[in-house]
Amino acid sequence: LSPQDLAGQRFVISAGGTREPIDPVRFLGNRSTGRFGIALALAAAHRGASVDLVACNVDAALLPHHPTITIHEAGSARELQAHMVRLADGAQVVIMTAAVADFRPATATESKLKKDGTVPEFDLVENPDILHGLASDRDHGAYVVGFAAETGDEHGSVLDYGRAKAKKKGADLLVVNRVGETSGFGDVETAITILDRFGEIRAEAGGSKSQMAGVVINTIISSRTGD
Ligand code: C5P
**147 assigned ligand-binding residue:** yes
Give the whole-number percent of the chain exceeding pLDDT 70.
95
pLDDT value at position 130?
98
pLDDT value at position 190?
85
Cα 104 to Cα 8, 78, 109, distances in angstroms: 38, 10, 13
Separation of alpha carbons 12 and 91, rounded Å: 7
Q: Is 148 in the pocket of ligand 1 (CB under 6 A)?
A: yes
CA of 99 to the centre of ligand 1 (A): 6
pLDDT value at position 117?
92
Separation of alpha carbons 40 and 53, rounded Å: 10
Q: Which ligand 1 atom minimizes the distance to the CA of 128?
A: 21
**165 assigned ligand-binding residue:** yes
pLDDT value at position 119?
92
Taking all residues of the chain, what is their mean pLDDT, rounded to a whole number? Answer: 94
Find, among 72, 40, 70, 41, the residue nearest to 56 by Cα. 72
Q: Is 174 in the pocket of ligand 1 (CB under 6 A)?
A: no
Catalytic annotation present for 30: yes
Q: Are 143 and 94 within 8 A, CB to CB?
A: yes
As separate numbers, helices (DSSP H) first and strands (DSSP E) second, the chain gives 5, 12
Per residue in 66-93, pLDDT (tens digit) is: 999 999 999 999 999 999 999 999 999 9
The low-confidence residues of the chain, meaning pLDDT below 50, are none
For the stretch 181-188, contacts whose Cβ atoms lie closer than 8 Å and that sit 24 or more positions apart, written own/partner, are 184/149, 185/31, 185/32, 185/33, 186/33, 186/35, 187/33, 187/35
Q: How many CA atoms lie within 13 A of 129 on its CB side?
A: 14
Q: Among 96, 168, 178, name the best residue to mutate to test ligand 1's pocket (greatest count of ligand atoms within 8 A of Cβ).
A: 96
CA of 116 to the centre of ligand 1 (A): 36
